Amino acid sequence: MGFFEALGLSAGLLSSWLVTGGSASDTAWGLTDLGRALAAVTASRAEFTETKYIHVLDEPLKLEGVLLYRAPDYVRKVVGSPYPESYEASGDKLTIENPDAGRRTVSLDEHPGVRAFVEAFRATLAGDFMRLQEYYAVKLEGEASGWTLRLRPLPEQMSAYVSKITIRGHGPVITKVETLEKNGDLAVMDIRPISE
């Protein structure tokens, strides 16, 4: 089972507003169950199409590529179209590579806002909601057959830049990640698992 099959980066579970939605019949399923399902995935690959609605552009920007995950903390986003670019998070390091700027690596400890954004994806994929709660208020709605995880950045993290991250899926499969920035820009990433 792949990483996005068991669960989903731009575009992204904590604190005092943790709520599990649903009727009395499905309240037994919740964040703990979702976390277990996600944590069971050790590696996966998925294709993505990300549409960015940026207020300074007349038309949406559409990116396509591949997402890679390896437990517990490796995530890579490889953009193939319309331009080559990659983002790789592993441990405390984030490496960004593109033909124009070359390759550069930064410490996530030195950039807390960037770390918070990376953890929206990485901690979710690992099913590590305790770590996620260091950066976000989390709200889970739905049930195993169709769920929505809503992340609101905590004030001391990246709330000056991002309003919310919404992750959608079913069972242990992530199908969509939406990131709404404070300036109104929106990134919508549709995710399609690649069979191993």
Longest dimension (CA), the chain: 55
Considering the entire predicted model, what is its pTM?
0.82
Residue 157: the pLDDT is 64
Residue 22: the pLDDT is 35
Q: Which of 68, 20, 45 is nearest to 193 (CA)?
A: 45
What does the mean pLDDT of the chain come to? 84
pLDDT tens digit string along 119-161? 999 999 999 999 999 999 999 999 988 999 999 998 776 777 8
Question: Of the spans 11-15, 17-21, 25-29, 109-113, which averages the highest pLDDT?
Answer: 109-113
Cα distance between residue 178 and residue 57, in whole Å: 19
Residue 122: the pLDDT is 93
DSSP single-letter state for residue 162: E
Residue 19: the pLDDT is 31
Cα distance between residue 163 and residue 173, in whole Å: 24
Residue 14: the pLDDT is 24
Cβ contact 59:67 at 8 Å: no
Question: Of the spans 29-38, 63-72, 163-172, which averages the highest pLDDT?
Answer: 63-72
Q: Is residue 59 scored above 90 in pLDDT?
A: yes
**Cβ within 8 Å of residue 56, ≥6 positions away:** none
Domains, the chain: 24-193 (2.50.20.10)
**Angle (CA) 8 116 93, round 5°:** 85
* Percent of the chain residues past pLDDT 90, beyond the cut: 68
pLDDT bracket for residue 181 (50, 70, 90): very high
Residue 58, helix vs strand vs coil = coil
